[in-house]
Chain A
Amino acid sequence: MQVVQADVVVVGAGGAGLRAALAAAARDSRLRVALVSKVLPMRSHTVAAEGGAAGVTRGEDSLEHHFNDTVSGGDWLCDQDVVDYFVRHCTEELEQLERWGCPWSRKPDGNVNTRFFGGMTIQRTWFAADRSGFHMLHTLFQTSLKVPSIQRYDEFFCAELLVEDGRVRGVVAIEIATGEIFLFQCSSVVVATGGAGRVFRQNTNAGTVTGDGMGLAFRAGAPLRDMEFVQWHPTCLPGTGILMTEACRGEGAILVNKDGYRYLQDYGLGPLDPWPRAKAMELGPRDRLSQAFWHEQRKGRTLDTPQGPAVHLDLRHLGAKKIHERLPLITEAAQTFAGVDAVKEPIPVCPAVHYTMGGIFTNVRCETPIAGLYAAGECASVGIHGANRLGSNSLVEIVVFGKVAGDSAAQFALSNPSSQRGLRAEAVEQRLTSLLRNDKGERLAVLRDEMRDTMEDNVGIYRDEPGLRAACAKLATLRERYRRGVKLDDRSRAFNTEWLTAIELGFTLEVAEAMAHGALARRESRGAHMRIDFEARDDDAFLKHTLARHAGDAAPRIEHQPVTITKSPPRVRHYGGEGKQAVLT
């Protein structure tokens, strides 16, 4: 086993991890920052984010508006002190990215342009065509190359966090190319590994989005919070789940059912006119739009495609020029993956799993309950998304809280130097390599597919008690079968991706279980969590966070925790209704 000495280890090199590494290095250039990722930084899933990032810039907008949009978008399950911090720091972080070279799209006068997203009172989404995440990620990665104290460990798979005496002490990782085990000894760790969308069958996420960091922290004793809140993005290609950005609707695209009818007006998002207007019709929030699709399907008003039911996302009235200028990536993707020319035809779309609102519980400083352990980005639950994330809030979250996490972890490392104690890493190595020696067991793909089908069928857009109980039971069985053994075709060490997939599946099953048990315990409907058997929001019983605690081989223990309300008492969420026509720039 090779040993690497570091001060701060950042696990994951997407947007949040890179921003954390930059912040840790900026705090003190003597700190040894190890940036450890299972893929090259520019392969991270931040790269696929399309629409943009929210930051108050326009004169008629205000932090108050961003706060209120976020809190009502989250159905009042947001921690309002954290949202307050968040909205105050969004714009400065987007400006910082610009000064690092990010090619944000501009207005003719050379200032940064903004566009509408769903649930927004005023246009506040900064965008770089529809490659916003791509440009943010490449800007952060390329900027990190000029910082010598950031040492990258590309294609190292983190398999375990070492926590001793209540404090994080190190990380055990596999160097993918050789299969060698590495021990990173350190003072603090930032987990920034992204979400867990691959728990479901139809999702917008990259293959890497398997909840590793959530699983790492969960097993190490950090609770996962609000895991039942999973976002379905309403406009994805049926079958593959490839994302057609919300920016389509932000630029004026409409959604119609098989009869050509703008069905959203039937689901509390109308009336139709005047169009476009903020927070109405297609500019409603994602949870409402995905739920409306579910109802349309039940009424038999969706289209049948070979890949499943769909509605039409129609961009044609925007005209070729605007489509190519503002939405080039999805235009290409629609052509390549669906054979549709978005300038001439509507695009068939349906909801697909997109984002995990929940994650590793942290406070506003990105601290988990384990000393020295921090988390940021989609893997974390810092408290800004509540029961439904607003589009554009996650791309800016990764820089706002990536920075906080890196800075907090650096400060911790400065005041708590790493001790050169012997860590119990050998047992971890034994456990990892034992996966290579199973002579009998099931194929990985069998367990993985059964898990995805279970989640898709029973922990979907609408849920009920019998379905959730069935899912919990099935996931327990799958974990048991996983423990009994998976049989790998590949027993070698060098670049053994089957081995890594087996370790990932272990994390994924536990994350899925936290989602299903959280959903079962929440006997109300709120945001993205819809219960057929408990249709209303129940603030008396459930205006609180869900905490899932790891319980070894048993199902997670579910507890609840109060939500911080500072200035916005819970109200009815209001979309659609009267309003004046918006001018899209």
Chain B
Amino acid sequence: MNTITIECLRYHPESDAEPRFQSWPVPFTDDMSVLQGLQYIKDHLDGSLTFRWSCRMAICGSCGFVLNGVPKLGCETFLRDYYPGTLRVEPLSHFPIVRDLAIDQSDFLKKLESVKPYLINPDVPKKGTFIQTPGQMDEYYQYSKCINCLLCYAACPQYGLNSAFTGPAALALLHRYNADSRDAGKAERMPVVNAEDGVWGCTLVGYCSEVCPKGVDPARAVNQNKIESTKDYFFRFFRK
């Protein structure tokens, strides 16, 4: 069994003026994840280290951290890949820190709500289901796989500069509903798309899609909506 040094950002709102770093030596086996390393610290070395986690199988989206500068899920990243170096664990960038590695997620929740992420359709069947072919599902399905882990917000330079930007995951979800054949709510969502902080806030860096642990492509969703936004603008112009 080898031992790796894990260095974590610490910040306590009741006692720290600013964040600091603390390191621990952590013995590990080849199958141990970064999350298990943090759990080892909490169980045996310092019970005050604070972080979120839950499913430990990359589906609940709780354990996003910045690991040696890169946003990743702690549960599906392994200590062996950082050995013999030091692993530095920081909270996700661009969000206020509540404590240690736990960030304040409330801004994202507001944005999620702002894109109206639910079916809007006056003609929902009273009984049974909609008919939707596998081809129609393909139009939106990849965007429905977002686990809201917020790695893409930590990766997004625009969100870092201007937190009013709706951001990758929320815009991907907006597109997920707009592209769903069962939905008729596009017009209600266009104001979010067209706003200065909507799709036009994106400068096409594409790092959001690169860090996504689920293979969702938020950059593509955003840019498809730039086309939609342009069409929307012209159609409104012509209708006048």
State the A residues within 8 Å of B (CB). 39-40, 42-45, 47-48, 92, 95, 98-101, 103-106, 108-112, 131, 134-135, 138, 142-143, 145-146, 154, 177, 206-208, 239-240, 242-243, 306-307, 329, 332-333, 336-337, 443-445, 488-490, 492-498
Distance in Å from the Cβ of A72 to the closest Cβ of chain B?
29
A145/B117 contact (C-beta < 8 A), A206-B56, A490-B48, A494-B13 known: yes
Cβ 8 A contact of B47, one of A42, A109, A143, A489: A489
Are the CB atoms of A40 and B105 closer together than 8 Å?
yes
Q: How many residues of B contact A (CB 8 A)?
A: 61
A240 vs B55: C-alpha distance in the bound complex, in angstroms? Answer: 11
Distance in Å from the Cβ of B47 to the closest Cβ of chain A?
3
Residues of A within 8 A of B98 (CB): 177, 494-495
Distance in Å from the Cβ of A210 to the closest Cβ of chain B?
11
Are the CB atoms of A43 and B61 closer together than 8 Å?
yes
Are the CB atoms of B47 and A488 closer together than 8 Å?
yes
A101/B118 contact (C-beta < 8 A), A489-B46, A495-B98 known: yes
- Say whether B220 faces chain A, with CB atoms less than 8 Å apart: no
Q: List 19 A-B contacts (CB under 8 A).
A: A40-B109, A42-B60, A42-B147, A43-B54, A43-B60, A47-B60, A92-B127, A95-B127, A99-B125, A104-B129, A108-B133, A108-B134, A134-B59, A142-B117, A206-B60, A242-B57, A336-B58, A445-B43, A488-B47
Residues of A within 8 A of B94 (CB): none
Are the CB atoms of A146 and B116 closer together than 8 Å?
yes
A108 vs B53: C-alpha distance in the bound complex, in angstroms? Answer: 39
User: Knowing that A101-B182, A110-B133, A333-B57 are A-B contacts, what are 19 other residue pairs whose CB atoms are under 8 Å apart, sorted by A's residue number?
Assistant: A42-B148, A43-B61, A45-B54, A45-B55, A48-B60, A95-B127, A99-B125, A99-B130, A103-B140, A110-B132, A135-B144, A142-B173, A145-B113, A145-B118, A146-B118, A154-B109, A240-B57, A332-B58, A444-B47
State the B residues within 8 Å of A (CB). 12-15, 31, 42-44, 46-48, 50-62, 76, 98-100, 102, 104-105, 109, 112-113, 116-119, 124-125, 127-134, 136-137, 140-141, 144-145, 147-148, 173, 177, 180, 182-183
**Who on chain A is nearest to B125 by CB?**
A99
Distance in Å from the Cβ of A151 to the closest Cβ of chain B?
13
Cβ 8 A contact of A207, one of B56, B112, B128: B56
Residues of B within 8 A of A42 (CB): 60-61, 147-148
Cβ 8 A contact of B59, one of A101, A131, A445, A492: A131
Identify which of A44, A134, A239 gathers the most chain B CB atoms within 10 Å of its CB.
A134
* CB-CB nearest 9 A-B residue pairs: A489-B47, A110-B131, A490-B48, A445-B43, A495-B99, A98-B129, A142-B117, A498-B47, A206-B54
Residues of B within 8 A of A493 (CB): 14
Are the CB atoms of B59 and A99 closer together than 8 Å?
no
Are the CB atoms of A39 and B54 closer together than 8 Å?
yes
Distance in Å from the Cβ of B142 to the closest Cβ of chain A?
11
Distance in Å from the Cβ of B129 to the closest Cβ of chain A?
4
A495 vs B51: C-alpha distance in the bound complex, in angstroms? Answer: 9
Distance in Å from the Cβ of A55 to the closest Cβ of chain B?
11
Distance in Å from the Cβ of A170 to the closest Cβ of chain B?
25
Are the CB atoms of A498 and B42 closer together than 8 Å?
yes
How many pairs of residues, A versus B, come closer than 8 Å at their CB atoms?
Answer: 154
**Who on chain B is nearest to A336 by CB?**
B76
Question: Chain B: interface secondary structure?
Answer: loop
Are the CB atoms of A239 and B60 closer together than 8 Å?
no
Residues of A within 8 A of B43 (CB): 443-445
A95/B144 contact (C-beta < 8 A), A45-B54, A48-B57 known: no
Are the CB atoms of B129 and A95 closer together than 8 Å?
yes
**Who on chain B is nearest to A92 by CB?**
B127
A348 vs B76: C-alpha distance in the bound complex, in angstroms? Answer: 19
Are the CB atoms of B128 and A95 closer together than 8 Å?
yes
Are the CB atoms of B112 and A145 closer together than 8 Å?
yes
Residues of B within 8 A of A108 (CB): 133-134
A490 vs B61: C-alpha distance in the bound complex, in angstroms? Answer: 25
A240 vs B29: C-alpha distance in the bound complex, in angstroms? Answer: 13
Residues of A within 8 A of B147 (CB): 42, 47, 134
Residues of B within 8 A of A110 (CB): 131-133, 136
Are the CB atoms of A101 and B119 closer together than 8 Å?
yes
A134 vs B147: C-alpha distance in the bound complex, in angstroms? Answer: 8
Residues of A within 8 A of B14 (CB): 492-494
Cβ 8 A contact of A106, one of B100, B117, B124, B133: B133
Residues of B within 8 A of A138 (CB): 144
Are the CB atoms of B133 and A490 closer together than 8 Å?
no
Identify which of B15, B57, B133 gathers the most chain A CB atoms within 10 Å of its CB.
B57
A332 vs B212: C-alpha distance in the bound complex, in angstroms? Answer: 14
Distance in Å from the Cβ of A155 to the closest Cβ of chain B?
9
Are the CB atoms of B53 and A207 closer together than 8 Å?
yes
Residues of B within 8 A of A103 (CB): 137, 140-141, 144
Distance in Å from the Cβ of B38 to the closest Cβ of chain A?
11
Residues of B within 8 A of A106 (CB): 132-134, 137
A284 vs B51: C-alpha distance in the bound complex, in angstroms? Answer: 40
Are the CB atoms of B48 and A206 closer together than 8 Å?
no
**Who on chain A is nearest to B42 by CB?**
A498
Residues of A within 8 A of B44 (CB): 443, 445
Are the CB atoms of A48 and B59 closer together than 8 Å?
yes
A490 vs B10: C-alpha distance in the bound complex, in angstroms? Answer: 13
**Who on chain B is nearest to A489 by CB?**
B47
Are the CB atoms of A207 and B99 closer together than 8 Å?
no
Residues of A within 8 A of B52 (CB): 39, 43
Distance in Å from the Cβ of B172 to the closest Cβ of chain A?
13
Residues of B within 8 A of A48 (CB): 55, 57, 59-60
Residues of A within 8 A of B42 (CB): 497-498
Residues of B within 8 A of A39 (CB): 52, 54, 62
Identify which of A101, A103, A145 gathers the most chain B CB atoms within 10 Å of its CB.
A101
Residues of A within 8 A of B47 (CB): 443-444, 488-490, 498
Distance in Å from the Cβ of A547 to the closest Cβ of chain B?
31
Are the CB atoms of B60 and A495 closer together than 8 Å?
no
Residues of B within 8 A of A43 (CB): 52, 54-55, 60-62
Are the CB atoms of B50 and A495 closer together than 8 Å?
yes
A99/B137 contact (C-beta < 8 A), A43-B54, A145-B113, A494-B14 known: no
A48 vs B227: C-alpha distance in the bound complex, in angstroms? Answer: 35
Residues of B within 8 A of A143 (CB): 118-119
A422 vs B132: C-alpha distance in the bound complex, in angstroms? Answer: 54
Residues of B within 8 A of A177 (CB): 98, 104
Are the CB atoms of A337 and B102 closer together than 8 Å?
no
Are the CB atoms of B137 and A100 closer together than 8 Å?
no
A99 vs B131: C-alpha distance in the bound complex, in angstroms? Answer: 10
Residues of A within 8 A of B124 (CB): 99
Cβ 8 A contact of B31, one of A208, A239, A243, A443: A239
A74 vs B48: C-alpha distance in the bound complex, in angstroms? Answer: 44
Identify which of B31, B76, B105, B141 gathers the most chain A CB atoms within 10 Å of its CB.
B31
Residues of A within 8 A of B130 (CB): 98-99
A150 vs B128: C-alpha distance in the bound complex, in angstroms? Answer: 26
A492/B12 contact (C-beta < 8 A), A106-B134, A108-B134, A307-B31 known: yes
Are the CB atoms of B136 and A489 closer together than 8 Å?
no
A208 vs B53: C-alpha distance in the bound complex, in angstroms? Answer: 9
A300 vs B141: C-alpha distance in the bound complex, in angstroms? Answer: 45
Are the CB atoms of B105 and A494 closer together than 8 Å?
no
A101 vs B132: C-alpha distance in the bound complex, in angstroms? Answer: 11
Residues of B within 8 A of A495 (CB): 50, 98-100, 102
Are the CB atoms of A142 and B48 closer together than 8 Å?
no
